[in-house]
Amino acid sequence: MIEVNQLVKRFGLKVVLRGADFNVRPGEFVALLGPNGAGKTTFLRILASLSRPSMGEVKVAGHRLPGEAAQVRAKLGVVSHLPLLYPDLTAEENLEFYARMYGISNFHLRVTEVLELIGLERRRKDLVRTFSRGMQQRLAIGRAVIHDPEVMLFDEPYTGLDQDASAMLDDVLRSVAAQGRTVVMTSHDLARAEDLATRFDILSRGVIAASATKKDLKRTNLLAFYKQALVD
């Protein structure tokens, strides 16, 4: 579903990604771990077609980037630590706007479905600026799944959430993944990712430095490797 070969990204003289290889099969939930500044967000922005790779090959849902970006965007949902929502619009208006941008024909029905999925049906007429951070993040997930994407990218979705909101987000993430979507989530919190993901990759110094499935997590000593990467 996602194929990345020898991905390089430079910002001027600064090289952020130095030939990263990354493959994800359909239905996998991959946690992309790494210390702050490892290039996780840049990596995800390239997969989301928001940033052009300097070198290397990127294919998402069978389409090449950046050449077939519009086709990729139609199959992709992105949630970041920013909600990407308009505070002066209601929850319903925000979802309707994005539904129209994705060309969903019967968007009123779809908006209701999504509001039910994220548990905000009763707050549909409330302005987003009156929502707590946790509710905004749930609505952000609703925005990202409005077009029922095959691939979902989560960039540090737990940033700024308290424990209750994080637990609620866990449930929404589980239901999103259970629908057969391919998910890539960046995080620096291994404990949180351990609960949800089926595979763990560590991005360090611009490359995927280690990878393990959930089953192999203990055997491969990935945890120790990750701690070392954080220290480095």
Partner 1 sequence: MQARTSARRLQAAKNRPSSIVCRPSFVKAMMAVVQKDLAAEFRSRELLSAMLVFSLLVILIFNFALELDIKTRQSVTAGVLWTTFAFAGTLGLNRSMAVEKDRGCMDGLLLAPVDRAAIYFGKAISNLAFMLIVEAIVLPVYSMLYNVNLFQAGLLGVILLGSIGYTAVGTLLAAMSVQTRTRDVLLPILLFPVAIPVLLASVKASGGLLDGAEFSEILTPLNILIVYDVIFIAVAYMVFDFVVEE
Cβ burial of 58 (10 Å; 0-12, 13-18, 19+) is buried
- The least distance separating partner 1 from the CB of residue 6, rounded to whole angstroms, comes to 19
- The least distance separating partner 1 from the CB of residue 182, rounded to whole angstroms, comes to 6
Q: And the tokens for 61?
A: 């849902």
User: Please, which residue, 39 or 149, has the CB nearer to partner 1?
Assistant: 149
Phi/psi at 14 (nearest 5 deg)?
A: -85, 125
CB 182 within 8 A of CB 1: yes
For 203, the 3-state DSSP assignment is strand
Q: And the tokens for 97?
A: 């706007």
> Which residue type does 33 have?
L
User: Please, which residue, 71 or 166, has the CB nearer to partner 1?
Assistant: 71
User: Please, which residue, 107 or 209, has the CB nearer to partner 1?
Assistant: 107
- The least distance separating partner 1 from the CB of residue 228, rounded to whole angstroms, comes to 25
- The least distance separating partner 1 from the CB of residue 5, rounded to whole angstroms, comes to 20
User: Please, which residue, 124 or 230, has the CB nearer to partner 1?
Assistant: 124
- The least distance separating partner 1 from the CB of residue 49, rounded to whole angstroms, comes to 8
Count of positions (residues) in the chain? 232
- The least distance separating partner 1 from the CB of residue 21, rounded to whole angstroms, comes to 21
User: Please, which residue, 101 or 167, has the CB nearer to partner 1?
Assistant: 101
User: Please, which residue, 92 or 229, has the CB nearer to partner 1?
Assistant: 92
CB 44 within 8 A of CB 34: no
How many Å is the Cα radius of gyration of the chain? Answer: 18
Question: Looking at residue 214, what DSSP letter applies?
Answer: T
Q: And the tokens for 64?
A: 């090449």
| Chain contacts with partner 1 (rule: CB under 8 A) | 1, 25-29, 45, 48-52, 70-71, 73-76, 78, 80, 82-89, 93, 97-98, 100-105, 110, 127, 143, 147-150, 177-182, 198, 213-215
